[in-house]
Structure 1
């Protein structure tokens, strides 16, 4: 008796794991497995920060309600007698501020992770060749490498920024000078998420260029603060400020919610003289006469400009991130055509 065997039964079973590894989804899963320690660290840190912010939110809302600060505090420290604002600052405002600094600094840490352990280390060790031998193109490899941190940024940073913004808004802000909206700008709203995506794109370029873990991480550590400083210098001009003219010298602080970006004199011909030197104790009228000016001006952003400025800077950050991502694609195509 003979047995007839078809050619299909003789063929080796399909290696589903290998087939999955050929696509971006399989590679993304591989990235998660390779860097599971970092993924767990990020997840635990996120939970800790969210828990701390939740506790702070409840403490702040209870304190504001117990001391009647929600409605009466609009004129500065004097509106809250008996040192209630000082006690609030000591107990609650400082932790909010320091957590905000952590939120502000997290993007550069993500960029360093992408530049070093995620890309540069693999290029240096040569392990990227294993993926490329499995019918994965260099561009698909890069896309998979960036999918994991980009997803973490969009999910984790959105949650963290929303939680921190809720805590920040729960404070009696008019009496907490360190928490004015223009000073907390990179910690709240959509800007931290956009900054994190910008840092990730910067990390990808640094890793592809340097191909060494420590130099790539160092490059991000140096370059990102420069870019963040540039964005900060442009921030006040992303939305047109409000300008007011007066005969009296305006103060640097108009109100608790106004961000003054410039002041000075208006000349007889209409030209501006920013921050003229009047000397100490000189009367504003005499200062005008000295400089042959006809009045003073002040440029400022009211609190209503917060969200237009947020979206404008976020858009600019995403545009820079797109340019850097395009640069990363160009580098991959140039080095591994």
Structure 2
């Protein structure tokens, strides 16, 4: 067979789908790189020179309850830590908005998705690639940020102001922070498929992510059995500091736990309701990993359901 015949019968090799996704979303890829680099730099500064300066200033001029001097080393150190937490916690909102508007909604609105389906990439492979590529990049970048955040937290050089149970600190210190962007990606993509337009996809993605995040946050502490601390009438409510607190109430002479009808008040009220003590529910620091892992499992379950719904919807529309 001649070279001309071979060339005539050889079909051009289609571009790899993942490369097409990267080329199409280069601005988002660039911004993600800038985001990871910036937050990583802030955390590395807090771990190194920022933390060293804050620790030295604290040892020189501070007590447990007072730090009164014109030296902002400690303030900058705390700000860097809180800034990184805020960035990690806010990032899923941006992911949901981008996935609903740019990743899915815009392509359905412009018709470029249907064009791709008529070429070498079918609808299922198209959506799978759309989700897999950003999911891999999000997981890699967020894992790095969580590792650095945990490093700074574990080597805290100012012995005041941070608690494992704080909002933001708890999420950014473990796999929960890695799972939330994946949930945002799935919900944003599902919203874009439902809306088939960029702006409604953006709004739907943000609302769906906010709703799911709120509900998971409310359910998370209840996924692990609470520790219970009981105090008598003189001790009142007793629970260790630096914990995640749940319910509390009164204890009767039979050992029953009931809502406190007296708000810890007068003896006559307590005697009338047969109250002999009070109880508090809490999660100590020893339950950090059970809480993290069970909440992560819940997040990934909801993510899997959203992905399954997205593929089901796409199959029905392209059948």
Q: How many Å separate the matches in 2 of 1:124 and 1:56?
A: 44
1:105–1:122 CA distance, 2 compared to 1 (3 A): same
Contact 1:201 1:325 in 2 (8 A): yes
Alignment check: 8 A CA contact 1:278 1:287 kept: no
TM-score with structure 1 setting the length:
0.84
The number of residues matched between the two structures is: 313
3-state SS in 1 of match to 2:229: strand
The alignment yields a C-alpha RMSD, in angstroms, of 2.6
2:226 maps to what in 1? Answer: 241
CA contact (8 A) 1:288 1:295 kept: no
Equivalent residue in structure 2 for 1:63, among 46, 54, 57 = 54
Whole-angstrom CA distance in 2 between matches of 1:125 and 1:170: 50
Report the Cα distance in structure 1 between the residues aligned to 2:210 and 2:122, rounded to whole angstroms.
33
3-state SS, counterpart of residue 175 of structure 1: coil
Q: TM-score, normalised by structure 2?
A: 0.88
**Conserved in 2, the CA contact under 8 Å of 1:161 and 1:192?**
yes
Residue 6 to residue 169, structure 1, CA distance change in 2 (3 Å): closer
Matches within 5 A, 1:1-337: 5=2, 8-9=5-6, 11-16=8-13, 18=14, 21=15, 26-58=16-48, 59-64=50-55, 67-68=58-59, 79=64, 83=68, 90-171=75-156, 175-176=160-161, 179-183=163-167, 184-247=169-232, 248-251=235-238, 254-255=240-241, 257-278=242-263, 282=265, 288-337=270-319
Deviation at 1:302, TM superposition (A): 0.8
Deviation for aligned residue 1:188: 2.0
Question: Equivalent residue for 1:72?
Answer: none
Shift of 1:61: 4.5
CA shift, 1:29, in A, is 0.5
CA displacement, residues 63-121 of structure 1 (integer Å, 9 cap, x when unaligned): 3366459xxxxxxx96366548x966523213311321111010121121111101111
| Counterpart-to-counterpart distance in 1, 2:207 and 2:260 | 32
Alpha carbons 1:202, 1:324 under 8 Å: kept: yes
Unpaired stretches in structure 2, ≥5 consecutive residues = none
For the 8 Å contact 1:265–1:288, the answer to whether it is kept is: no
